[in-house]
Amino acid sequence: MSLLITMVVAVAGGWAFMKLHSWRVLRRAAAREAREADELRAQAPATIVPSRHGLVPRAELVLVGTRHSPEAAAALDAARSGDWRPAAAYLTASGADGADGADADRRWARAVPFTDLAVEDDAWLQAWRREQPQNAEAAVLHARALVGVAWEIRTRKRAHQVTREQAAGFHRVLGEAEAAAREAVLIAPADDPNPWVVLLPVARGHSWDNDRVRELWSEITARDPQHWAAHGQALQYWCEKWHGSHAAMHEFIDTAIAAAPVGSLLAPRKLEALWEQYAGSEEAATAYRTAQVSAALDTALADLAAADPGHPGVEHARGWLAFMLGENGRPAEAVAQFQALKHTVPWPWADYHDPLSAFTGDRAAAVLAAPDASNTPDASDASDTSDGQADQLATAG
């Protein structure tokens, strides 16, 4: 028995000593780490001065969708204060300005900031609809805003992180959105694809089966075969995390690109598809360097070169090109896209946690990697990086 007692005491005592000892060790380690961090900070980070490379300084960058034409800005301000008429004039006037195939796309794009506003507060839109119940733009906008509200309730989280309450609200409001879209179909001209396009996110949220979505898709493409926004929505439906697969997604976008005339800007959507497939995966770095991606980039570049500069998808295309050219090891071409983007921070960075830092980081990396750059950081001149004049190389996207 005494042996047992001795063992208990010895074990307990030894354990307590180890504990004290390891505290001391830990404290020492923490001090060393802090010292090393200070040393690292003292070294100049790799920075560039954007203006030397034809790039807009960080302080002047804005997220895509936040800067509007004076006309749109005035209409948004009026709507915010309850006057729907300037918005109605702006949105319906656009019906006349295109007259080509991109008309529906342009109307869709012009309505984006108004949709965002109506998601927040739709008093002005309700007033408009009471006054003009047969206005197709207002009817489509109402349906789109309901889709937006539904997603606000759900948030963009993965399904398992969405609470029961959020899911219930999402499905309820999405159901209202579907009803509103079907009402808009009846109000809008028979050849207007836009009310049908609203049903694509409804199909995604309500998990329509693939055949049902193919039927919907034929309604849309019968009215506008290259509807650029619709292709973005449908791509999401067909991707693996929603209701398709990598194969189904690529088949969808490859078929669309093959059928579209050059300049439709559907080719850059292939870059989105590649990103959907590889983002976050360990193989991303090597996957983006393959010949498949290089070829997709060449097709997208040719598509962009042929596109109307006023096409609503131009900034989006440049963003994906800039991103994927960088990943593909073509930094000089990436820099050209960064230059053309001017003040806009587009997708994919717009979706990042800290879009501006990620964007300027990738931009700096492209500049530093481009063969015609001096390959030395502009550190000497970047005495003050806090004034937003210099881009610091990001350590993580």
Partner 1 sequence: MVTPARPADSATSGTALSTSGRALTAVALLAGFYLLAAAIVLGLTGLDLALLFSGTGVNPAIAKLIGLSLLVIYPVLRVVFLTRRPRGEEPSGLLLTREQQPELWARIDRIAEQTGVRGPADLRLVPDVNAGVWEDTRLLGLIPGKRHLVVGAPLLLGLTEAELDSVLAHEFGHYSNRDVRLAGVTMAGRRAILHTVRTLQEQADPDRKQHTGGIRKAQARSADLAQGVQGNLAGVFAAYGRMFFRVSEAVSRRQEYAADRTAAQLAGRDATAAALRRLPVLSAAQDFYLDCYATIGWDAGVLPLPGQLYGGLAHVLADPVRGPELARLGRELPQEQSDPYDSHPPIAQRVAAVEALPEDGRSAEQDGPALALLREAERTLAALEQATLVPEAAAKRHADWPELLRESCLAGLRRRTGPVREALTDAGLPATLEGLLDALDTGRGWEIAGRLPKSEEAAAATGRAAREFLRPALHSALSRLTVLAMAEAELAHWEFSWSRSATLHLPEGVEEGMEGAVDAAVTDAPDTAPLRALAGLTAPAR
- Tell me which residues touch partner 1 (CB under 8 A): 1-2, 4-5, 8-9, 11-13, 15-16, 19, 119-122, 126, 145, 149, 152-153, 155, 163, 165-166, 168-169, 172-173
Q: Residue 28 carries which side chain, given as an amino acid letter?
A: R
Q: C-beta of 168: minimal distance to partner 1 in Å?
A: 7
Angle at 77 between CA 76 and CA 80, to 5 degrees: 85
Our CB check for partner 1 shows the closer of 174 and 257 to be 174
Our CB check for partner 1 shows the closer of 118 and 256 to be 118
Which tokens is 286 given?
């090597």
Q: C-beta of 151: minimal distance to partner 1 in Å?
A: 9
CB 125 within 8 A of CB 145: yes
- Return the exposure string of 266-298: e unless at least 16 CB atoms fall within 10 Å of the residue's CB, then b: bbbbbbbbbbbbbeeeeeeeebbeeeebbebbe
Q: C-beta of 13: minimal distance to partner 1 in Å?
A: 6
Our CB check for partner 1 shows the closer of 19 and 32 to be 19
Q: C-beta of 350: minimal distance to partner 1 in Å?
A: 20
Our CB check for partner 1 shows the closer of 166 and 392 to be 166
Our CB check for partner 1 shows the closer of 157 and 343 to be 157
Our CB check for partner 1 shows the closer of 26 and 259 to be 26
Bridge partner list, 48:
391
Please list, in sequence order, all residues whose beta carbon lies within 8 angstroms of the beta carbon of residue 47, skipping any fewer than 6 positions away.
364, 377, 378, 379, 382, 385, 390, 391, 392, 393
Q: C-beta of 128: minimal distance to partner 1 in Å?
A: 14
Our CB check for partner 1 shows the closer of 169 and 388 to be 169
Q: C-beta of 165: minimal distance to partner 1 in Å?
A: 6
* E-only strand ranges, the chain: 47-48, 62-63, 344-345, 391-392
Nearest Cα to Cα of residue 200 among 184, 220, 186, 185? 220
In this structure, the strands spanning 47-48 and 391-392 are antiparallel
Q: Residue 5 carries which side chain, given as an amino acid letter?
A: I
Please list, in sequence order, all residues whose beta carbon lies within 8 angstroms of the beta carbon of residue 112, skipping any fewer than 6 positions away.
65
Q: Residue 186 carries which side chain, given as an amino acid letter?
A: L
Nearest Cα to Cα of residue 226 among 139, 137, 340, 307? 307
Q: C-beta of 314: minimal distance to partner 1 in Å?
A: 30
